[in-house]
Amino acid sequence: MSTYKLDYLDQLESEAIHIMREVAGQFERPALLFSGGKDSITLVHLALKAFRPGKFPFPLVHIDTGHNFQEALDFRDWLAESLGEKLIVRYVEDTIREKKLKEPTGRNASRNALQTFTLLDTIEEFEFDACIGGARRDEEKARAKERVFSVRDEFGSWDPKLQRPELWNIYNGKIHKGENVRVFPISNWTELDVWNYIKRENIALPSIYFAHERELILRDGKLLATAKGVIQQEETDEIVTRRVRFRTVGDISCTAAVESDADTLEAAIAEIQATRISERGETRIDDQVSEAAMEDRKKGGYF
C-alpha cells in the first residue's frame, strides 16, 4: 500500500494547485499578487504546474511601493517576460500624488500602510474579484486564523469574528459585486516547507536571498539596507559593511538583513533549520509596533 502515499511536500503542492484551480474555475477576473519574494515566486511555480501548457488565467499584479529592492524588481520583470505572462504594476507613489496622502515620516516609517490604498484602487480599476497571495499561516498569529478563501468587503476589510465556515476542500467563492476574495494557496506551508520546495523544484530566486557583501545601516541591532530617499539616516546610525542575506524580501524600509555565509540553497536551509528566531521576528520591522499590528492592518484591507 505504501507506494500509494504522497510525501508531505507533494500533499502541500497538490493542495495549493487545487486551490489555484478553484480560483480559475470560480472567478471572472482573478489576479495573482506578485511581490518578487520567495513565497510569491513559489506561487508562480505552482501556477505553472496548475495551468501549463495553458496560459495563466490571471495576470501577475505588483503593488510597487517605490521602496523595493532593485534585485527583486529585476527578477520580477525577468520572470514575467520569460514565462510570457502578463504583469501589471501599480505604484504607491502615484496614489500618494493623486490622493494627496501624507507619507509617514520619522523613525522606521514605511509605506506598508499606504500600499493598501494602491491595492484597493487596483482591485477597483481591474474589477478583480479574487486576489491570490502568498501569505502563510505560520508567519504571524493573525494569519494563523485566516481562511484559505478570505472574503473581504468592498473596503477590503477582514472581519476575524465573522469568517465563513470552510469545510473539507470545498471552497465557497460566491460573493456580491464589490466584494472580493483573498486566496492563500500556501496557507499550510511553513517557511521551511517553502525552502525545501524551492530546492526540490530547483526554483530560481533573486540574488539577495543568498549571502553577499553589502553596505548597511546598523540600527537597534538590526541591519537595514542603505537606499537613498527610503531610509532617513539618523545620528545614532552606524554604516557598516557585512556579509548578509535576506530571509524575507519586503520593503527596504521594513526588511532587515541577517548576517550569513549561506550562499547556496542548502546552506540557507541549514541556517533556517537551526535558527531560534521566527522569520518575521528576525526580519520585519513593521509587525513589531504593536501586539495586534497585523490584525489591524488586515481589518483595514491589507493582505
Partner 1 sequence: MDLLRFITAGSVDDGKSTLIGRLLYDSKSILADQMEAIERASKSRDDGEIDLALLTDGLRSEREQGITIDVAYRYFQTPKRKFIIVDAPGHIQYTRNMVTGASNCQLAVVLVDARHGVVEQTRRHSLIASLLGIPHLVVAINKMDLVDYSQDVFSNICIHYNELAQKLDVGEVTYIPLSALNGDNVVEKSANMPWYEGEPLLSYLETVELDHDENLTDARFPVQYVIRPQTAELHDYRGYAGKITSGIFRKGDTVTVLPTGETSTIDAIEVAEKHFDEAFAPMSVVLHLADDVDVSRGNLIVKSDNQPVVSQNVEAMLCWMDTKPLKVGNKYTLQHGTFRTRCAVREIIYQLNVNTYEETEDVESLKLNDIARIVLKTAKPVSFDPYDKNRVNGGAILIDETSNVTVGALMLRKEAI
Q: Which stretch binds partner 1 (CB under 8 A): 103-111, 113-121, 213-221, 275-283?
A: 275-283
Least distance (Å) from partner 1 to the CB of residue 34? 20
Q: Distance between CA atoms of 200 and 271, rounded to whole angstroms?
A: 17
Cβ density class 161-178: b for 16+ within 10 Å, e for less: eeeeeeeeeebebebeee
Is 257:214 a contact under the CB 8 Å cutoff? yes
Is 137:187 a contact under the CB 8 Å cutoff? yes
Task: For residue 5, state whether it binds partner 1 (rule: CB under 8 A).
Answer: yes
Size of the site for partner 1 (CB under 8 A): 62
Task: For residue 160, state whether it binds partner 1 (rule: CB under 8 A).
Answer: yes
Residue selected from 14, 70, 157, 232 as contacting partner 1 according to rule CB under 8 A? 14
Give the contacts of 172 (CB within 8 A, at least 6 positions apart): 149, 164, 166
- Measured from the Cβ of residue 196, the count of other Cβ atoms closer than 10 Å reads 19
Least distance (Å) from partner 1 to the CB of residue 226? 25
Half-sphere exposure of 40 (CA within 13 A, CB side): 25
Q: Please, what is the Cα angle at 221 between 218 and 225, to 5 degrees? A: 35
Least distance (Å) from partner 1 to the CB of residue 1? 6
Is 95:101 a contact under the CB 8 Å cutoff? yes
Residue selected from 100, 102, 176, 228 as contacting partner 1 according to rule CB under 8 A? 176
Q: Distance between CA atoms of 120 and 155, rounded to whole angstroms?
A: 7
Binding letters toward partner 1, positions 109-138, x by CB under 8 A: ----------------------------xx
Is 187:149 a contact under the CB 8 Å cutoff? no
Q: Distance between CA atoms of 246 and 196, rounded to whole angstroms?
A: 17
Q: Which stretch binds partner 1 (CB under 8 A): 7-15, 95-103, 111-119, 228-236?
A: 7-15
Q: Return the number of the residue (239 or 277) whose C-beta is nearest partner 1.
A: 277
Is 223:259 a contact under the CB 8 Å cutoff? yes
DSSP at 248? S
Cell numbers standing for residue 266: 542548502
Least distance (Å) from partner 1 to the CB of residue 102? 26
Instruction: For helices 191-201 and 265-274, give the axis angle rounded to 10 degrees.
Output: 160
Q: Return the number of the residue (67 or 298) whose C-beta is nearest partner 1.
A: 298
Task: For residue 144, state whether it binds partner 1 (rule: CB under 8 A).
Answer: yes
Q: Which stretch binds partner 1 (CB under 8 A): 118-126, 213-221, 256-264, 276-284?
A: 276-284
Residue selected from 87, 89, 282, 300 as contacting partner 1 according to rule CB under 8 A? 282
Q: Return the number of the residue (100 or 161) whose C-beta is nearest partner 1.
A: 161
Residue selected from 66, 73, 190, 300 as contacting partner 1 according to rule CB under 8 A? 190
Binding letters toward partner 1, positions 24-63, x by CB under 8 A: xx----------------------xxxxxxxx-x------
Q: Which amino acid is at 59?
A: P
Q: Which residues bind partner 1 (CB under 8 A)?
A: 1-2, 4-8, 10-15, 17-18, 21-22, 24-25, 48-55, 57, 137-138, 140-142, 144-145, 147, 160-161, 163-170, 172, 174-176, 187-188, 190, 275-278, 281-282, 291-292, 295
